[in-house]
Chain A
């Protein structure tokens, strides 16, 4: 079990500063999910941890030992790449065995480990095939297998499920979770799929534009997003976010509503962003933030219906039980004050402490 810590890690590629002073602590045996939009530097971060890219600045520690100067081999991490990167000239067995062979394991040891992992991942019948004769899902398992045969310090998984269909994805997700429970090895899992992040993670690190914006348990991230970016990025359908005003008395003015909230005491007049999750929207005019409008879109998503209500030029997204709305209908909706998230419009940071009734 390895503790990983990154301190002020920066990295530029070409002219772009891709990682900007990253600080991250991953506890021993933890499954940390890194999530962020495409191009935010997730793969680069993994490469830096693995030693495939040098850092420009900052330090990386495995169990308090600095590793910046160590080659990938010496860091002893295993990695699953976004596009599998199986060795096309080797059989599945050869792919799985290669890492062990390069580390000087004996033939019988290699045989034994490969066989065990192959059974575990249900690829033992494929061992003699070349990667080009494998399906996408099989390739994916082999790529996982190549990491699992090793007992590395850390597993680094770079969007390993992104090329799979939905069913296979959820199956393998469950398998990874089970594997992690058994192995208890520190694991970093990169994704831009929030369901994956929510279901797998012990903790989630949200990245944006080369920075880590928030680290926390899935619940923390979902319930108390630190910035409006995290709020908007996590959750599907996305959170409603509106621009409003807060006056010196801590009152919120939004869309004709005036609410008492106790955000950032002692403030003066201030533009803020107000967010609330679609599933917190309640039908009917009630207490709290109130909207009136016309239903413009209805999308059934199984048990629920996702609706967009046009409230005088601003769309309110909400999630309601099936069958209680029709398109074109005039409705009133409301959100309780406790369900509001309030952010500073300039910095995007959470302005804390919405008054609980």
Chain B
């Protein structure tokens, strides 16, 4: 009898045992630091002095009056919407193109996906070189065809800074969107197309009545994921501009980094970083709620 109970305990606990390593790691490297970040945001911790005090919401209150913060917040929102939007546009377009059947499709597929695996630092290098003021291809090309008189400082000039950074970001980020959309397109039952064609639908009607409705869920997932990913983005913007001259392209992430590591105000920087987390948390909750509801509807 004792033996039986023991065995059933083992059976009951087994799944938790399998999950334990993952949960411990996630707790150690994600949850715990995150809680600490929120805690730091409530202190006046700095990089240099080890003693620090609890200041409650002091940092947040201070942030409310910090024009740099509000500027970065606006920048982050605009950056997320514009970059995410372009990623979706290009990703969807290329997915439609690649979804057709043609020769060497596999080769095009691979080549187009490749930017996705390039580490951010290398992407940064590639675009710094492309945008280089004297010897960069872009300037030489534009000068060569006499579109411009003197070289453009793509990563400095207020007019070109944002487009230049966004283009670099789109270049590495859209392949992921493309991949997701291709997955979505392939999951549409080909019989639907056959049936619609048999009903006399043209290619436009096929697109609007079969393709788009079939992609509803993928669209939704991609839009939210892009907003989430682009809102928290740091690497490439930092590598290319470090926030730009005068904070022209300072995002919340780069601002947090400036405050916490360069300006040594860890507590204050943590408050900025925590705000990114709060925004993402809300977005993630929306994501979870809506995807699970979508499942139930089926």
Contacts and interface: CB of A to CB of B under 8 A. Distances in A.
A–B contact with Cβ pairs below 8 Å: the answer is yes
Interface of A: 54, 66, 69-71
A105 to B, nearest CB: 24
B11 interface: yes
Interface of B is mostly: helix
A54 B11 CA distance: 10
B195 to A, nearest CB: 27
B6 to A, nearest CB: 9
B110 interface: no
Nearest to A66: B4
B8 interface: yes
B7 interface: yes
Nearest to A67: B4
Nearest to A74: B7
Interface residue tally on B, bucketed by range: under 10
Contacts of B8: 69
Which among A54, A66, A69, A70 has the highest number of chain B CB atoms within 10 Å? Answer: A69
Contacts of A54: 11
A70 B8 CA distance: 8
Closest 4 CB pairs of A and B: A69-B4, A69-B8, A69-B7, A71-B11
Contacts of A69: 4-5, 7-8, 11
Contacts of B7: 69-71
Contacts of B4: 66, 69
B2 to A, nearest CB: 11
A69 B8 CA distance: 6
Interface in B1-27: 4-5, 7-8, 11
10 contacts: A54-B11, A66-B4, A69-B4, A69-B5, A69-B7, A69-B8, A69-B11, A70-B7, A71-B7, A71-B11
B250 to A, nearest CB: 50
A105 B273 CA distance: 60
Contacts of B5: 69
Contacts of A70: 7
A69 B11 CA distance: 9
B282 to A, nearest CB: 30
Given A54-B11, A71-B7, 8 more contacts: A66-B4, A69-B4, A69-B5, A69-B7, A69-B8, A69-B11, A70-B7, A71-B11
B298 to A, nearest CB: 14
B231 to A, nearest CB: 36
A29 B286 CA distance: 58
Nearest to B4: A69
Nearest to B9: A69
Nearest to A54: B11
A85 B7 CA distance: 27
Contacts of A66: 4
Nearest to B8: A69
B223 to A, nearest CB: 31
Nearest to B14: A71
A64 to B, nearest CB: 15
B158 to A, nearest CB: 58
A125 B5 CA distance: 47
A74 to B, nearest CB: 9
A71 B7 CA distance: 9
A54 B4 CA distance: 14
Interface in B48-95: none
B28 to A, nearest CB: 32
A93 B264 CA distance: 67
Nearest to A51: B11
Contacts of A71: 7, 11
